């Protein structure tokens, strides 16, 4: 026991150990952060800690308490129209704003968690100083601690701002949106005129209910999202690889030029190319006009690229081949060149033709190497906002879907966008966001595990 203790370096004690073994000042650092440090002569650090502790106290007494009080109900006082005798008109008397209460509630939780972590750090720091004094070693001055943050603890300095950015602009908003999924903040409960409140899992039930109007939108869209993701991922993968093989062939000249032609379509911003395609494929767009000129369709007819559900879906998948094949070309060209040539030579000797060679050698090899990126691509396609939004915008619109909020080519993500931005059904949007996330994470976990198993299996052979 004693031996083990000896081996533990100073400053590695956890919070409980620090607080349990620390002296009076260290223990009191939990209530008065910085006290222990001041006692051991670390004045600047101690005062800094004390200042941070006081700031939280001021925040807690000033804002925190009132937020905490309102958070369970998200506000009770509705905005009211009141007759103002002095002015002779009706004026709006502001009520509670549920949205701001929810937001400040989330911020309160974040700040409180940060404060608890800070207290933990303060106690550990106090105990560290105490241990140093007990061991008869010098307690580092403030300047030296700063220097340490540019050396052994450089990661803290480097990570501070990036992590703060992620916390404030990604995690905090996400938690805020997730919490909205458990409220009834829809188009009928808009702030500041009305209040919204917690409803538990009711929104999830509404969205997932097979028979409800919402469920009859959700399930078909989910089905189309998967169909789309499967086609978009695998068609692009196979076709892109075939193209790469074609260009890699010995007898093809100007390889660089051909690759350039295809990769140029990635280089040009998607909003330029896809918006152009959209105008080309309109009922009176260039494609239909040309077909009329050539007499392939009647003068008043138009191919319903985005006006018929099936046409629109096929069009989108085809256009997406245009978008996606160059990406596959870009990523697989190098890997294809790495396939051991002995494999192909052996196949030649056995008399395999091109198709068999592709199916039995190239494809398995590529799947083996690129499985992780293929999974990522699949997830990205489930969340592929740009192609759908720029190309069809979800069209054709249909009243079969919940209040006409979605069209036949909408994916879950574009529907989420329309629900929140156009229709202000925030709570349902949040539910769909969470469900999309759950689907993505389940698919990735299952798929990654399978590839790992696959690799291990290969390892034994």
Q: Which of positions 243-272 make contact with other proteins (CB under 8 A)? A: 243, 245-247, 249-253, 258, 260-272
Q: Is 339 one of the binding residues for other proteins (CB under 8 A)? A: no
Q: Pick the closer one to other proteins by CB: 53 or 240.
A: 240
What is the DSSP code string of 84-129?
Answer: ETTTTEEEEEP---HHHHHHHHHHHHHHHHHHHHHHHHHHHHHHHH
Contact partners, residue 19, CB within 8 Å, separation at least 6? 26, 27, 30, 123, 127
Q: Pick the closer one to other proteins by CB: 161 or 210.
A: 161
Candidates 7, 83, 161, 210; binder of other proteins (CB under 8 A) is: 161
Q: Which residues of 64-86 are buried (b: 16+ CB within 10 A; e: fewer)?
A: beebeebbeebbeeebeeeeeee
CB of 38 to other proteins, least distance (A): 27
CB of 94 to other proteins, least distance (A): 16
Q: Pick the closer one to other proteins by CB: 88 or 256.
A: 256
CB of 167 to other proteins, least distance (A): 9
Q: Is 446 one of the binding residues for other proteins (CB under 8 A)? A: no
**Given the DSSP bridges, would you call strands 80-84 and 89-93 parallel, antiparallel or unpaired?**
antiparallel
Total residues contacting other proteins by CB under 8 A comes to 98
- Taking CB under 8 A as the binding criterion, the range among 15-23, 138-146, 296-304, 323-331 that sits at the site for other proteins is 323-331
* Bridge partner residues of 80 (DSSP): 93
Candidates 66, 170, 227, 337; binder of other proteins (CB under 8 A) is: 170
What is the contact mask toward other proteins in residues 116 to 155, using x (rule: CB under 8 A)? Answer: -------------------------------x--xxx-xx
* Bridge partner residues of 92 (DSSP): 81
Note if the bond before 205 is cis, omega within 30 degrees. no
Residue 395 per-residue DSSP state: P
Q: Is 290 one of the binding residues for other proteins (CB under 8 A)? A: yes
- Taking CB under 8 A as the binding criterion, the range among 135-143, 205-213, 398-406, 438-446 that sits at the site for other proteins is 438-446
| C-alpha torsion angle, residues 413, 414, 415, 417 (rounded to 10) | 90
Residue 407 per-residue DSSP state: B
Residues in the chain: 461
How many other CB atoms sit within 10 Å of the CB of residue 307? 15
CB of 282 to other proteins, least distance (A): 8
Q: Pick the closer one to other proteins by CB: 165 or 364.
A: 165
CB of 154 to other proteins, least distance (A): 4
Q: Pick the closer one to other proteins by CB: 38 or 243.
A: 243
* Bridge partner residues of 198 (DSSP): 183
Q: Please name which of 144, 22, 136 lies closest in space to residue 35, comparing C-alpha atoms.
A: 22
CB of 116 to other proteins, least distance (A): 16
Q: Pick the closer one to other proteins by CB: 50 or 222.
A: 222
Between residue 342 and residue 401, which ones bind other proteins under the rule CB under 8 A? 344, 348-349, 351-354, 357, 369-370, 372-373, 379, 383, 385
Give the C-alpha separation, 73 to 7, whole Å: 53
CB of 319 to other proteins, least distance (A): 9
Q: Which residue has the tokens 């010995």?
A: 250
What is the contact mask toward other proteins in residues 215 to 234, using x (rule: CB under 8 A)? Answer: --------------------
Give the C-alpha separation, 444 to 58, whole Å: 45
Q: What angle do CA 437, 441, 442 make, to 5 degrees?
A: 115
Q: Pick the closer one to other proteins by CB: 35 or 102.
A: 102
Q: Is 430 one of the binding residues for other proteins (CB under 8 A)? A: yes
Q: Pick the closer one to other proteins by CB: 230 or 263.
A: 263
Note if the bond before 192 is cis, omega within 30 degrees. yes
* Bridge partner residues of 83 (DSSP): 90
Between residue 58 and residue 97, which ones bind other proteins under the rule CB under 8 A? none
Give the C-alpha separation, 196 to 147, whole Å: 51
CB of 328 to other proteins, least distance (A): 11
């Amino acid at each position: 026991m004693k031996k083990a203790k000896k081996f533990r370096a100073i400053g590695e004690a956890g919070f409980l150990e620090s607080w349990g073994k620390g002296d009076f000042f260290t223990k009191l650092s939990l209530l008065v952060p910085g006290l222990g440090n001041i006692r051991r002569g670390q004045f600047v650090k101690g005062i800094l800690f004390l200042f941070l502790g006081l700031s939280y106290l001021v925040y807690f007494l000033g804002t925190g308490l009132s937020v905490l009080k309102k958070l369970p109900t998200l506000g009770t006082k509705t905005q009211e129209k009141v007759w103002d005798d002095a002015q002779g008109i009706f004026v709006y008397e502001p009520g509670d704003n549920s949205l701001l209460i929810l937001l400040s509630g989330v911020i309160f939780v974040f700040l409180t968690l940060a404060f608890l972590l800070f207290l933990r750090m303060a106690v550990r720091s106090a105990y560290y100083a105490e241990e140093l004094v007990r061991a008869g070693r010098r307690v580092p001055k403030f300047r030296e601690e700063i220097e340490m943050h540019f050396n052994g603890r450089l990661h803290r300095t480097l990570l501070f701002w990036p992590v703060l950015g992620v916390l404030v602009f990604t995690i905090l908003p996400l938690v805020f949106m997730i919490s909205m999924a458990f409220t009834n903040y829809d188009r009928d409960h808009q702030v500041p005129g009305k209040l919204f409140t917690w409803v538990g899992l009711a929104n999830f039930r509404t969205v997932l209910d097979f028979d409800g109007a919402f469920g009859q939108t959700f399930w078909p869209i989910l089905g189309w999202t998967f169909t789309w993701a499967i086609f978009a991922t695998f068609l692009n993968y196979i076709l892109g690889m075939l193209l790469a093989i074609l260009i890699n062939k010995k007898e093809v000249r100007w390889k660089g030029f051909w690759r350039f032609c295809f990769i140029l379509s990635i280089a040009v911003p998607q909003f330029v190319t896809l918006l152009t395609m959209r105008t080309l494929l309109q009922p009176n767009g260039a494609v239909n006009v040309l077909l009329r000129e050539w007499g392939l369709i009647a003068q008043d007819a138009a191919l319903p690229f985005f006006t018929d559900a099936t046409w629109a879906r096929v069009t989108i998948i085809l256009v997406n081949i245009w978008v996606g094949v160059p990406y596959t070309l870009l990523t697989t060209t190098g890997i294809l060149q790495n396939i051991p040539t002995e494999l192909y030579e052996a196949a030649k000797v056995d008399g395999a033709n091109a198709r068999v060679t592709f199916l039995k050698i190239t494809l398995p090899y590529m799947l083996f190497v690129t499985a992780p990126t293929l999974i990522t691509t699949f997830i990205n396609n489930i969340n592929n906002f740009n192609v759908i939004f720029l190309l069809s915008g979800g069209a054709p619109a249909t009243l079969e879907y919940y209040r006409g909020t979605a069209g036949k080519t909408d994916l879950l993500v574009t529907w989420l966008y329309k629900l929140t931005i156009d229709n202000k059904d925030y709570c349902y949007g949040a539910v769909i966001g969470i469900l999309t996330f759950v689907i993505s994470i389940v698919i990735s976990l299952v798929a990654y595990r399978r590839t790992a198993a696959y690799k291990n299996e290969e390892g034994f052979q």
